Structure 1
Amino acid sequence: MRKPEILAPAGSLEKLKTAIDFGADAVYLGGSKLNLRAFADNFTNEQISEGVKYAHDRGKKVYVTMNVFPHNADLNGLEEYLTELYNLKVDAIIASDPAIIATAREVVPNLEIHLSTQANNVNWRSAKFWYDQGVKRIVLAREVGFKEIREMREKLPEECDIEAFVHGSMCMAYSGRCLLSNYMTGRDANRGACAQACRYKYYLVEEKRPGEYFEIKEDDRGSYIMNSKDLCMIKHIPEIVESGIYSLKIEGRMKSPYYVAAIVKAYRQALDAYLEDPEHYEFKQEWLDNLMKVSHRKYHTGFYFGKSAEQIYESSSYIREYDIVGVVRDYDAETSTAIIEQRNRIFEGNTVEVLRPEGDYFEVTLSDFYEGQNKIDVANKAQMIFKAKTTKPLNKNDMLIKNKEEN
């Protein structure tokens, strides 16, 4: 059995490098055209080139999303863009529309194609159809359960890879194909501009009583009736691997570098522990505890066990108990002094947790703050560079995180 792949989101060049550093085997990103995250820090060709080099130098891969449903105008320049991506040496494109797939087969026949989850593939015959069209990998619809995945793996050619989401936001629409945002705001979710109208709070208005708003309630739990929980499969690594899923995909190109680092690390630790000794594998609660620290909605196992994605009725807000407060840019072991780039407000004397690619989280206390030659007691300017004494040695690129409730 090939070692399964952990596939991480890369919403920017910084996030790409973070994902690779923290253990991702591959990343997926959006380029300048035809991807479903119009408001992400999408990559220029120059940034794709730098990201591909960074990944390939470390034996990792880069996939580029081209997963919109294109209108006629969106096809203008498609051949040239595909050629550019091929020349940039990306490892694959992720597409859902037959026009893009057919064009790629004609223009860059040696470029690997992955079928996007937007194509809502839920059965083995459909997957085999796409494989026969030159698609190397099927990214399953999120509505597929383990029983169906195992059957698909048995009936598909061995060379046809299966990829599935294991963590992140869940869309309330079938495989993400939603018209609500476009109808309400003019922002088309299927062309990368979703306004997340499903997260809004809704009221009913009776047509003859304009201005009278009636709250929608289900069992008095609230009125966010389309607000899905987040997917989290960290406790089910054995089932994922044994089902035949090759690529474990993490959602979140719009999330922070801290989110990417923490999620990738947790799944890397869990997957490696299972692969090292499947018969004696034991789940560690600390993996889930660390996933609880990042910004998230309540967790759920989606459709894997035959259940639908549950909704959160009382609020559309994220649970966000920890913030990243700084990134270590350099460290002087002789003076125990760190040079830190601030990410959120932090006070002199604060104790923070340290997140790095290897090893467990640990705590360190920061003191003796300086900005340049000026003594300060708080780092409160966005991305300011400051120095601090530390009670334990730090490494370059360590992430410093802190419970929001602590001063």
Structure 2
Amino acid sequence: MERVELLAPAGDLERLKIAFEYGADAVYLGGENFGMRSAAKNFSIDDIKEGADFAHKKGKKIFVTVNIIPHNEDFEGFKEYLIELEKVGVDALIAADPGVIQVIKETLPNMEIHLSTQANTTNYHSANFWYNQGVKRVVVARELSFEEIKEIREKTDKNMDIEAFMHGAMCISYSGRCLISNYMTGRDANRGSCAQSCRWKYSLVEEKRPGEYFPVYEDEKGTFFFNSKDLCMIEYIPELINSGITSLKIEGRMKTAYYVATVVRAYRMAIDEYYKNPDQWKFNPVWLDELKKGSHRHFTTGFYNDKPGTEEQNYASASYVRNYDFVGIVLDAPDKDGYVTVEQRNKMVVGDEIEIIGPYTDTLLATIEEMYDEEKNPITEAPHPRQLVRMKLPKQVGPNFMLRKEIEETN
């Protein structure tokens, strides 16, 4: 059975490597130009080469976004950039604009092209059109149901890949084709500079009464009426695979390494469990609990089962739900006495009860009983960003395992 691809986001090299270590089959990323997330750290050409080399040694792939909706001046230096991407070993380019696709075909005739969700593909006629233009993979619009995706699969060439988002932030505008950010702030969401205006709180102002703000209510629940919940399809792995999707995509190039590890790990477990015995697959609530231990908004299934209703919006707040702090990442294997080096990411103190997650492992529980600084002096806390500490952890722990602790509720 040909397995579905698990595709993860990467905002920098650390997150790329974490995604692969935790089970991603491929990673998508943005270079320093021509991508839809200019606020992310993004990758230099040297970074992309290092990432591609790392991926290929593991038999995995990297895809680079060139999916802005460009104006004339945006094409300056584009061909030269494409040539550099091919040289460093990129496996495919993700594009949305017909002009960009044409330039890719002219400049890199052997490069695989993926059609971005920004192209808003919602039907099999469009998918067939793009496939006939040389597009190998179509990233379908987020606004499709399982049944619509199945029909696209049935009525397109079997050599065409279908990619679909299964987890992450949802945009209020059609597959991300948003104008509100540009209108409100002058930051063009379609050229990589979204200000996320849909997450803001809005009030009504009457023209002749400036300064008087009247709340805009949706069923008296709040004023964040553009603010969508996050997509989460962990309970629907069989339906996703059986709809004919080739690649299941996680949103989040702006997210942290801990977020990437948590989400990839949960979906890796769910997908692997499916392939053990597809007919007997059963949803494990632990997978959803794991996703909730990363920073997230409340979850929705988006358009997959039916068109969303009022419950798919979060009217009360634009804030994330965060129940756990990522406190450290393990840098090396245990020594003969069981001690590892941990790079601090949030404050840790002796006595903290922690959870430890790692690639392809169950969650481990532990208590920090002792810590030592780099000079081997005992310490009771690690308050400094990226401080290196030595501590004893369970023997299963190794490089890239992550430590987290539950956030204590405060009144």
Q: Does 1:398 align with 2:391?
A: no
Shift of 1:391: 5.6
- Give, in whole Å, the separation in 1 of the partners of 2:353 and 2:332: 19
Alignment of 1:107-186 (within 5 A): 107-186=107-186
The gaps in structure 1 that reach 5 residues or longer are none
Contact 1:5 1:248 survives alignment (8 Å): yes
- Give, in whole Å, the separation in 2 of the partners of 1:229 and 1:259: 17
In the other structure, the counterpart of 2:371 is 369
Contact 1:366 1:391 survives alignment (8 Å): no
In the other structure, the counterpart of 1:319 is 321
Paired AA for residue 312 in structure 1: N
Contact 1:364 1:392 survives alignment (8 Å): no
**CA deviation profile, 1:143-166 (whole Å, cap 9, x unmatched):** 011111111000000001100000
Paired AA for residue 359 in structure 2: P
Shift of 1:184: 1.1
Contact 2:269 2:360 survives alignment (8 Å): no
In the other structure, the counterpart of 1:328 is 330
Say which SS state the counterpart of residue 231 (structure 1) adopts.
strand
- Give, in whole Å, the separation in 2 of the partners of 1:286 and 1:311: 25
Paired AA for residue 398 in structure 1: F
Q: Provide the TM-score with structure 2 as the length reference.
A: 0.97
- Give, in whole Å, the separation in 2 of the partners of 1:88 and 1:8: 20
Say which SS state the counterpart of residue 79 (structure 1) adopts.
helix
In the other structure, the counterpart of 1:73 is 73
In the other structure, the counterpart of 2:59 is 59
Paired AA for residue 377 in structure 1: T
Shift of 1:396: 1.9
Contact 1:37 1:193 survives alignment (8 Å): yes
- Give, in whole Å, the separation in 2 of the partners of 1:251 and 1:311: 18
- Give, in whole Å, the separation in 2 of the partners of 1:141 and 1:200: 24
> How many residues are treated as equivalent by the alignment?
407
Higher deviation after alignment, 62-71 or 357-366: 357-366
Aligned residue among 317, 320, 337 for 2:339 = 337
Shift of 1:376: 2.0
Higher deviation after alignment, 234-243 or 75-84: 75-84
Q: Provide the TM-score with structure 1 as the length reference.
A: 0.98
Say which SS state the counterpart of residue 388 (structure 1) adopts.
strand
Do the aligned partners of residues 267 and 236 (structure 1) sit closer, same or farther apart at CA in structure 2, a change above 3 Å counting? same
**CA deviation profile, 1:174-221 (whole Å, cap 9, x unmatched):** 110111111111111111111111111111011111111101111111
Higher deviation after alignment, 373-382 or 87-96: 373-382
In the other structure, the counterpart of 1:218 is 218
- Give, in whole Å, the separation in 1 of the partners of 2:120 and 2:37: 18
- Give, in whole Å, the separation in 1 of the partners of 2:12 and 2:226: 29
In the other structure, the counterpart of 1:45 is 45
Do the aligned partners of residues 393 and 123 (structure 1) sit closer, same or farther apart at CA in structure 2, a change above 3 Å counting? closer
- Give, in whole Å, the separation in 2 of the partners of 1:157 and 1:230: 31
- Give, in whole Å, the separation in 1 of the partners of 2:313 and 2:395: 43
Paired AA for residue 234 in structure 2: I
Shift of 1:402: 0.9
The gaps in structure 2 that reach 5 residues or longer are none
Shift of 1:371: 1.7
- Give, in whole Å, the separation in 1 of the partners of 2:206 and 2:134: 52
Say which SS state the counterpart of residue 53 (structure 1) adopts.
helix
Say which SS state the counterpart of residue 314 (structure 1) adopts.
coil
- Give, in whole Å, the separation in 1 of the partners of 2:357 and 2:104: 40
**CA deviation profile, 1:48-85 (whole Å, cap 9, x unmatched):** 00000000000000000000001111101111111111
- Give, in whole Å, the separation in 1 of the partners of 2:337 and 2:268: 34
In the other structure, the counterpart of 2:350 is 348
Say which SS state the counterpart of residue 14 (structure 2) adopts.
helix
- Give, in whole Å, the separation in 1 of the partners of 2:29 and 2:334: 35
Paired AA for residue 72 in structure 1: N
Paired AA for residue 361 in structure 2: G
Paired AA for residue 25 in structure 1: D
Shift of 1:331: 4.1
- Give, in whole Å, the separation in 2 of the partners of 1:288 and 1:16: 23
**CA deviation profile, 1:25-55 (whole Å, cap 9, x unmatched):** 0000001210000011110010000000000
Shift of 1:406: 7.4
- Give, in whole Å, the separation in 2 of the partners of 1:390 and 1:15: 23
Alignment of 1:289-304 (within 5 A): 289-304=289-304
Paired AA for residue 244 in structure 2: G
In the other structure, the counterpart of 2:237 is 237
Contact 1:324 1:399 survives alignment (8 Å): yes
- Give, in whole Å, the separation in 1 of the partners of 2:352 and 2:194: 39
Paired AA for residue 77 in structure 1: G
The percent identity for this pair of structures is: 54
